[in-house]
Every structure is written in C-alpha cells, then in structure tokens.
C-alpha cells in the first residue's frame, strides 16, 4: 500500500512490521528468527530474510528462512527454511526471489510458493551482501572478495571476479557491499580494492 513502511525487527523482536505514514502500526507478523536485512517487495508480497547469526558472527547452530507475507494483512503466504541466515537484500525478478545465504550460497525460490528452483555455492566464505538482478543475470558478492555472475534460470556460475587489491587481498572477510547495476555497469565496494566498476566481463 502507498506510504506504508515495512521493517524487519532484529534480535530482540523476531518480527516484520508494517507502519502507516502516520506512524501507527498496520500489521505485525512473527518470524522464526531475527529479520535483520532489508525487506523486498514483489507485487502483493513482502519478502523477508531471517536467520541466526549476524554479519560478524556465525551461529554455532545455523538456520534461516525466507518468509513471504501478504502486503495488506501480513499473513504468511509461504515460508522456506534454509541452511543459514539470509542477511542481505533479496533480489526479485523473473517470478523468482534470489536469496544470499550466509553459508556461501545463493538460492532461487519460486515466488508463487517458495519452492527451491536452484542453489549455487559461490564461496566457502559467507554471502552477506544482497543480490542484484539485471536481465537474466544475478550478481552476488562473497565476503572473501569475489563478485560472481549467475544465470538467473539455472544458477550456473558464468563469471567470477576478484574485488580486493592483488597486493593486499584482505583477510577479514569484509566484502559486504551489495552490487548495484546501472547504465550497463556493475558497481561494488570491496575490503581492500576500493570501489570497482565492471562493464561486461572487464573490470575498470
């Protein structure tokens, strides 16, 4: 609805709330785990990634879930459980939700029912940044400093590019910047390589 703000409530809340423009609560829906990442909207659905662990600390018993809620009343339309937390923004397109998972994978879910379409491992390090979609390509970043390009239909890994400085590759897994696609370019920050811009298959 116009003017409504959708917010995930973190560790102390475990909920998604919708707030009217005047500040009044519109609806509130409990979540199985903290919902700390950005909320994504897909037509009449509100999507939230949830899970144990955070951007710094993995949970000793990892678990996560993506919930799709009705935009009007907050009723859960579907819930898909995952092996770890979804902390970054979920990209929406081609009737799919592309979810960055803390265990180093990207998972594509069917927007209709939440069923898993594909799952692709992109790194042994966490995927903390949000995903981005452009055309038939999904962009994701691993915290150890790699930008990957995946086929949106199949999850096939098409390209992989290092983001950090070659002389200082980074050792703290701090590549947290979500890729931004604009004007035929992909912009993404890194731990030691500054801001990178990619055009096609060549980095600038």
pLDDT digits (tens, 9 = 90+) for 132-172: 999 999 999 999 999 999 999 999 999 999 999 888 877 78
3-class SS of residue 60: coil
Q: How far apart are CA 44 and CA 57, in angstroms?
A: 33
Which domains does the chain show, CATH number per domain?
5-203 (2.130.10.10)
- Contact (CB, 8 A) for 153 and 127: no
Nearest to 91 by CA among 149, 10, 32: 149
- pLDDT of 204 reads 41
- pLDDT of 200 reads 65
| Angle at the Cα of 112 from the Cα atoms of 152 and 155, rounded to 5 degrees | 15
Q: What is the pTM of this model?
A: 0.93
pLDDT digits 0-9 by tens, 69-123: 999 999 999 999 999 999 999 999 999 999 999 999 999 999 999 999 999 999 9
Q: What burial class does residue 132 get, using C-beta atoms within 10 Å of its C-beta: 0-12 exposed, 13-18 middle, 19+ buried?
A: buried
pLDDT digits 0-9 by tens, 184-199: 899 999 988 899 998 8
């Amino acid at each position: 609805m116009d003017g409504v703000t959708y917010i995930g409530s973190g560790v102390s809340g475990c909920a998604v709330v919708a707030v009217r423009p005047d500040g009044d609560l519109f609806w509130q829906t409990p979540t199985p785990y903290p919902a700390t990442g950005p909320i994504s909207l897909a037509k009449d659905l509100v999507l939230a990634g949830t899970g144990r662990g955070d951007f710094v600390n993995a949970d000793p018993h990892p678990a996560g879930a993506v919930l799709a809620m009705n935009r009007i009343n907050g009723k859960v339309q579907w819930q898909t459980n995952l092996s770890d937390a979804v902390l970054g923004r979920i990209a929406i397109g081609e009737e799919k939700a592309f979810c960055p998972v803390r265990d180093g994978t990207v998972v594509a879910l069917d927007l209709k029912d939440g069923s898993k379409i594909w799952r692709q491992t992109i790194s042994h390090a966490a995927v903390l940044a949000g995903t981005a979609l452009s055309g038939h390509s999904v962009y994701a970043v691993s915290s150890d400093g790699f930008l990957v390009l995946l086929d949106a239909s199949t999850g096939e890994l098409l390209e992989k590019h290092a983001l950090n400085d070659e002389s200082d590759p980074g050792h703290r897994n701090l590549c947290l910047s979500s890729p931004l696609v604009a004007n035929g370019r992909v912009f993404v920050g890194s731990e030691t390589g500054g801001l990178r811009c990619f055009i096609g298959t060549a980095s600038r």
